[in-house]
Structure 1
Amino acid sequence: MTSTPARWPDAAQAVMKGDLTVAAAYVTPAGGAVITSVSPLGLVDREAGRLSFTTSIGFPRKLERILRDPHVSLAYHTRDHGFAGNSSYVLAQGTASVDLRPSPERLADLMRASEPFLGRTKRGPVWDWLLREYHQERVFVDIGVERVALWPDLAARGTLTVTGSAWPRTPPAQEPPKNGTGPRVDVTAAVRQIRSLPHRLLAYRGADGFPVILPVAVTGHDGTGLRLDVPPGLLPPGGRRAGLLAHAFRPQCVGLGMRTFTGWLTVTDDGACYAPHTSKGLAAPPYKTLLTVSNGLLAKYGLWRARRDGTAARLERLATRGPVD
């Protein structure tokens, strides 16, 4: 992390404080990027140059990879159901640390921060028992911001403004995987799965190790993959591993859908083609009470499983040891 925190402009601050859902990307050991959606709940410390979001120990793969390689990026790509009024696309990149045992005070602050975004927390003896793990076993991912890139519109087009570290050089092409670069999941099925998910973003590992997250549009498909329309000049030529996210969400995240892919991106003079290799989906019910019950039960099960199979202890060891070179 740089010695001086990045100082981002007011337009970026408003977006960071107000967006309900953002895209988060981290890198893989093979040099790819995984991209998913998170709700950061306005957890911004501008003076310290820090952004935060929370997750659960029930999602250990994400935490393990961040602990091993802390290059993390957040893309503020939609104003849906949030509080920010401007139309800027904001990409924040930085070095992450993981707080596996947040203090009671920090957890209380999180609950207060969540209510404007997610609604009033349910209370009472039954709800307190059901939601105990969901509220009290949160894990914080804190990002020491090193660069903030801002475009004037949500399509990431127009003049780029960068604060903090300078925008890096173009990364070289990567070696293709041994199993080939073509699709390993049904492309037509993938198109069908994301048809109702309007927010689509692509992530790849930049030359300095930080994921670059860009909005994309799917303009067609064939046996070689998905045809992508991307902001001009922002995708490096050649082939590389990349992640793709398609998602949708409703007010207070009551009802959401998400499809994440890993795969191979090829950029030529003719355009960009994405060949999906893996595909995972997630859906949450559009009914708040049912969603709350599901969250509580999943948190209880996830914590029980993490303790039973040694995941919790493994994450503690990784957090103590620090990033792996």
Structure 2
Amino acid sequence: MGVQWSDAADGPIGGDLTAVLAYATPAGGAVLTPIAPIGLRDRDAGRLTFTTSLGFGRKLDRIRSNPAIALAYHDRAHGFGASSAYVLVQGRATIVERPDREYLETVVGPAAARFLGAPRRGPFWDRWLAAYYADRVPVHVDIERVVTWPDLRCAGDPVVDGEPLPAGPPASQAPPKKGAVPRVDVAKGARRLRGMSDLLLGYPGADGRPWVVPVGLRADDPRGYELSAAPGLLHPGARRAGLVGHRYNAQLVGLAMRQHTGWLEVADDGSARYAPHTDAGFAAPANKTLLLLTNGFLARRGLKQAQRARAAEAAT
């Protein structure tokens, strides 16, 4: 029997169109990326599920190396939930390396169609989207903790189901060997982030589980981004952290995302500065057909890269 979560948490878990997935990096930081969880969960078993494509192999490799992940349910837009709660789920992920085709077709398929619309079918689409639809793998998450705040800003004290939160903050980390200052164009990155509707920050907590919370971009200068957050939400200290901003329309049409890894410094008064070290992202077409063409291309390219990487690893 896994962790049983509240009805307040179940609304977002079962109804949000998007969530932000956080997983650890080998250097002790975190990567944040938006996903579409499509409401797959089993409350009795204390488990939820999301899917991803084998074409996104780097994400899967990181989760295999460190299965401690988190999912942040932070936005009700274009979903089915009416709750105002922010829900952070922390647990251990298991990738289903050889998924059951019947499960994908009878469970995942209808759930995805509810949120994303019916899949395109036909000779061209079946071939073009093979890496995106047919080669998807489920990732089961055995839940260890569910943290629920009453509003999306994470103001006030949360309700915790499962393991209690750590008593203290995570320890500060030593600065990176290449330095803690920004390594990308801060002004350009800030302009891109201000075009996103949601901005979330994440890093490993004191128990190693990713801590993912909403933040605001208050200002920027050559030293990095000045971030704002609800009082007490960010842990004092200095550490590696991930930052992601995204926006989307119904069925994820028009999806855009900017993703950073970098260095976070939080003062005792809660003021926070983030120095971005990497910058990645995309803006998908605001047209369903063009979006599917793009998804197919990216998944096919990623799958080929993953296959080449695994073949090279097997040969060494």
Same fold judged by TM-score > 0.5? yes
Measure, in 2, the Cα distance between the counterparts of 1:281 and 1:126: 27
SS in structure 1 of the partner of residue 137 of structure 2: strand
Give the C-alpha shift of residue 126 in structure 1: 2.7
> 1:295 corresponds to which letter in structure 2?
N
SS in structure 2 of the partner of residue 239 of structure 1: strand
**8 Å contact from structure 1 (residues 107, 135) kept in 2:** no
Distance 1:313 1:142, change over 3 A: farther
SS in structure 2 of the partner of residue 179 of structure 1: coil
Q: Deviations over 1:201-230 (max 9, x none)?
A: 000110111000000001111121111111
Distance 1:297 1:146, change over 3 A: same
Distance 1:50 1:284, change over 3 A: same
Give the C-alpha shift of residue 287 in structure 1: 0.6
Further displaced range: 211-220 or 283-292: 283-292
**Which of 60, 64, 83 is residue 86 of structure 1 equivalent to?**
83
Give the C-alpha shift of residue 16 in structure 1: 0.5
Superposed structure 1 runs of 4+ greater than 4 Å apart: none
Measure, in 2, the Cα distance between the counterparts of 1:226 and 1:301: 33
1:120-269 alignment to 2 at 5 Å?
A: 120-169=118-167, 170-269=169-268
For the pair 1:105 / 2:102, whether they are aligned, the reply is yes
Measure, in 1, the Cα distance between the counterparts of 2:222 and 2:299: 39
Measure, in 1, the Cα distance between the counterparts of 2:96 and 2:279: 29
**Which of 18, 33, 46 is residue 49 of structure 1 equivalent to?**
46
> 2:93 corresponds to which letter in structure 1?
A
**8 Å contact from structure 1 (residues 204, 241) kept in 2:** yes
Q: Deviations over 1:283-307 (max 9, x none)?
A: 2111111112222333333333333
Measure, in 1, the Cα distance between the counterparts of 2:258 and 2:48: 25
**Which of 62, 65, 70 is residue 62 of structure 2 equivalent to?**
65
Measure, in 2, the Cα distance between the counterparts of 1:61 and 1:132: 19
Measure, in 2, the Cα distance between the counterparts of 1:80 and 1:207: 31
> 2:145 corresponds to which letter in structure 1?
R
> 1:268 corresponds to which letter in structure 2?
A
What is the alpha-carbon root mean square deviation over aligned residues?
1.6
SS in structure 1 of the partner of residue 296 of structure 2: helix
For the pair 1:32 / 2:26, whether they are aligned, the reply is no
TM-score (norm 1): 0.92
Partner of 2:116: 118
SS in structure 2 of the partner of residue 13 of structure 1: helix
Give the C-alpha shift of residue 312 in structure 1: 7.3
> What fraction of aligned residue pairs are identical, expressed as a percent?
50
SS in structure 2 of the partner of residue 34 of structure 1: strand
> 1:247 corresponds to which letter in structure 2?
H
**8 Å contact from structure 2 (residues 69, 90) kept in 1:** yes
SS in structure 1 of the partner of residue 190 of structure 2: helix
Gaps of 5+ in 2: none
Gaps of 5+ in 1: 317-325
SS in structure 2 of the partner of residue 123 of structure 1: coil
Further displaced range: 71-80 or 96-105: 96-105
Distance 1:290 1:121, change over 3 A: same
Q: Deviations over 1:22-52 (max 9, x none)?
A: 1110011111111110001011111111111
**8 Å contact from structure 1 (residues 172, 236) kept in 2:** no
Measure, in 1, the Cα distance between the counterparts of 2:123 and 2:96: 28
> 1:267 corresponds to which letter in structure 2?
V
Measure, in 2, the Cα distance between the counterparts of 1:157 and 1:222: 27
